Amino acid sequence: MAVGHVFFALGCPRAMYIGTLLIGLGYGAHWAIVPAAASELFGLKKLGALYNFLTLANPAGSLVFSSLIASSIYDREAERQAHGNNYHIHNGGPFFSGMLGLNEPSKCEGSICYFLTSMIMSGFCVVAVVLSMILVHRTKIVYANLYGKSRS
Q: What pLDDT was estimated at residue 100?
A: 53
Q: What confidence tier does 91 reach under pLDDT thresholds 50, 70, 90?
A: very low
Higher pLDDT, 42 or 93: 42
Q: Mean pLDDT over residues 94-102, rounded?
A: 51
Residue 130 lies in a domain: yes
Q: What does the pLDDT look like over 1-54, one tens digit per residue?
A: 999 999 999 888 888 899 999 999 998 998 888 888 888 888 888 888 888 988
CA distances to 31, 36, 64, 100 from 53, rounded to whole Å, are: 13, 14, 16, 50
Q: Is 82 within a domain?
A: yes
Question: How many helices and strands in the chain, by DSSP H and E?
Answer: 6, 0
In a domain, 7, yes or no: yes
Does a structural domain hold residue 41? yes
Q: Coil, strand, or helix at residue 61?
A: helix
Instruction: Look at residue 30 and tell me if it is in a domain.
Output: yes
How many structural domains compose the chain? Answer: 1
Q: Given this model, what pLDDT does residue 111 score?
A: 84
Which 3 state secondary structure label does DSSP give 128? helix
Share of the chain above pLDDT 70, in %: 84
Task: Decide if 136 is inside a domain.
Answer: yes
Which of the four pLDDT bands, split at 50, 70 and 90, describes residue 151?
A: low
84 lies in a domain? yes
- State the residue range of the domain holding 54: 2-147
Residue 25: per-residue pLDDT: 95
Q: Report yes or no on 152 lying in a domain.
A: no
Please report which confidence band the pLDDT of residue 119 belongs to, taking 50, 70 and 90 as the band edges.
Answer: very high
| DSSP per-residue codes, 92-113 | -HHHHHHHTTTTSPP---SGGG
